[in-house]
Structure 1
Amino acid sequence: MNAGAVQQGRIFASGREARLSVRSGAHRGPTAGIAPGYVQGNLAILPKALADDFFRFCQFNPKPCPLLAASEPGDPRLPALGADLDIRTDLPLYRVWKNGEPVAEVRDLKDVWRDDLVAFVIGCSFSFEEALVEDGIALRHIDEGTNVPMYRTSIETVPAGPFRGPLVVSMRPLKPADAIRAVQITSRFPAVHGAPVHIGKPGMIGIADIMQPDYGDPVAVKADELPVFWACGVTPQSVIAAVRPEFSITHAPGHMLVTDLRNSRLAVL
């Protein structure tokens, strides 16, 4: 469980309770650990003209972009993820992009929402992190109450229409025995990134300095540990920066959508 969340007292009994707290403005911080057991999602919102290509991009790149749900154009509801869910208000912090550049971070989308926007919710590593912690595997960013470190890599995604760009990965330092167990556990969660894409030697995937993440916060990798890298749902932000659509919206890193789905339902036996 996220130490920062515990310190703030932001622990909720359900996904809906967490969303209502976010919607009211009571909870404004990162969402790791705030609703144990409930699936969280990354967000990408694009104009309808780009939606079909982005849907195909998710299909072609299921590890970084495991699609949980997509909205109808202009409809802020996603009933498959929560009966009362409103994508315009239910994340603590959004990032607004114009021509591939982040131009603002906002608390809700009421002033920027458009009738042609389609919302995509993509599986988040918070779900498999819960399974790792339950198995006794310590995760340093959780113990330290920070965001997981994330890096743009030299691994290219599979393109779809205009969507193309580098894979983003998240990193967790683990002892070798824990790394092996982590592969076994996360392989059961293909809907939330699945097994790691790389272990050890960051330079082999284009990461020059492991202490300088592109997103999130740095964490130390000790001498008896290996850096373990998973495909990350921040990849759409990297792709948006490369594609440069005229308008788009994402979550701010670490500030996810909390759904009514249970993590246990995503596990493959």
Structure 2
Amino acid sequence: MLSEELKNLSGEEVRQLIREGKWRDATAGVASGFVQANILILPRKYVSDFMLFCIRNPKPCALIEVLDPGVTSPVNSCRNSDIRFDIPKYRVFENGRMVAEETDIANYWREDYVSFLMGCSYTFENALINSGISIRHIEEGKKVPLYSTNIACNSVSGIDVNMVVSMRPIPYKDLTKTIQITSKYPSMHGAPIHIGNPAEIGIEDINTPFLGDPVTIRENEVPVFWACGGTVYNYVEKLKCSLAITHAPSHMYILDVKDDDFREY
């Protein structure tokens, strides 16, 4: 379980703990009120295709910021940062296959790398909690469950991938409020894409996530699914470029911009 101290830290303070090796766990609930981001780092030659993928698929991959080649510090979202060191855990892929999990990527860095920062549903969780809706994976000290679905993304350059979704159990009585709250964060996946029967979107076993941990679903609750930046794992697998780097599942990049900066009123 998270301590109140970690919940109340700023994005910059948590990044400092990460850089010092003092925090390597999942980031749900950490630095409450600060935006968390998915990342994908690619060689420059693949950038235009992935940019187009994001434009065509804004629900799972809404862009927050794109760094220039070789640049390691975001200009708009967290200037006092280094993307090579400030994420708790990274995944490294070669030819579409994960080959390593690392706590920094300095040894992999190249001057032609371009970093993409994309919205994350952890951002709207704080608004749900403040409205009295509990978040089960935070309650249970687990990683949010992610599932690969049968929902096809819009393809780019012959790369066809299915969407990954995150799931949170929501009481039936809070469904309308949950939809209203999350729809105000379109850059953070927005409103749910599916509510109810997992089989309808190709999920065979709700207790066996593609990534993350299974969580308890109580009798008065229904599984609710949001588009997820974890879709980049499917994209990288199909892309099969020589080297690609992402955050490890649930280990996000915590920024200096605030949740409310991305809320539509």
TM-score category by the smaller chain? over 0.9
Letter of the 2:2 partner, please give it: A
Q: In 2, Cα distance between the equivalents of 1:37 and 1:106?
A: 27
Match of 1:191 among 174, 187, 211: 187
1:71 aligns with 2:67: yes
1:39 aligns with 2:32: no
The 1:179/1:10 distance shift into structure 2, 3 A limit, reads: same
Q: TM-score by structure 1 length?
A: 0.95
Q: In 2, Cα distance between the equivalents of 1:33 and 1:21?
A: 15
1:113 aligns with 2:127: no
Q: TM-score by structure 2 length?
A: 0.97
Match of 2:3 among 1, 6, 29: 6
Match of residue 142 from structure 1: 138
SS in 1 for 2:39: strand
Shift of the alpha carbon at 1:224? 2.2
What is the aligned-residue identity percentage?
43
Q: Which moved more, 1:172-181 or 1:86-95?
A: 172-181
Q: In 2, Cα distance between the equivalents of 1:238 and 1:215?
A: 12
Q: In 2, Cα distance between the equivalents of 1:34 and 1:116?
A: 32
Shift of the alpha carbon at 1:245? 1.8
1:87 aligns with 2:79: no
Q: Is the 8 A contact 1:12 1:18 kept in 2?
A: no
Q: In 2, Cα distance between the equivalents of 1:164 and 1:68?
A: 23
Shift of the alpha carbon at 1:51? 0.4
RMSD of aligned Cα (Å): 1.2
SS in 2 for 1:233: coil
Shift of the alpha carbon at 1:241? 1.3
Match of residue 124 from structure 1: 120
1:211 aligns with 2:203: no
Match of 2:11 among 5, 8, 15: 15
The 1:194/1:84 distance shift into structure 2, 3 A limit, reads: same
Q: In 2, Cα distance between the equivalents of 1:12 and 1:133?
A: 14
Q: In 2, Cα distance between the equivalents of 1:248 and 1:150?
A: 21
Q: How does 1:24-35 map to 2 (within 5 A)?
A: 24-35=20-31
Q: Is the 8 A contact 1:54 1:163 kept in 2?
A: no
Q: In 1, Cα distance between the equivalents of 2:191 and 2:123?
A: 13
1:176 aligns with 2:169: no
Q: In 2, Cα distance between the equivalents of 1:164 and 1:120?
A: 20
| 1:76-135: CA deviation from partner (whole Å, max 9, x where unpaired) | 121211111111011010000001110000010110001111100111111111110100
Letter of the 1:222 partner, please give it: R
SS in 2 for 1:27: coil
Match of residue 230 from structure 1: 226
Q: In 1, Cα distance between the equivalents of 2:136 and 2:26?
A: 16
Letter of the 1:264 partner, please give it: D
Q: In 1, Cα distance between the equivalents of 2:135 and 2:34?
A: 19
Q: Is the 8 A contact 1:79 1:85 kept in 2?
A: no
Match of residue 59 from structure 1: 55
Shift of the alpha carbon at 1:239? 1.4
Q: In 1, Cα distance between the equivalents of 2:134 and 2:10?
A: 24
SS in 2 for 1:111: helix
Match of residue 265 from structure 1: 261
| 1:177-231: CA deviation from partner (whole Å, max 9, x where unpaired) | 2122111100000010000000001001000000000000001222322110000
Shift of the alpha carbon at 1:242? 2.1
1:201 aligns with 2:211: no
Letter of the 1:122 partner, please give it: M
Q: In 1, Cα distance between the equivalents of 2:176 and 2:7?
A: 30
Gap runs ≥5 in structure 1: none
Q: In 2, Cα distance between the equivalents of 1:11 and 1:179?
A: 26
Match of residue 92 from structure 2: 96
Gap runs ≥5 in structure 2: none
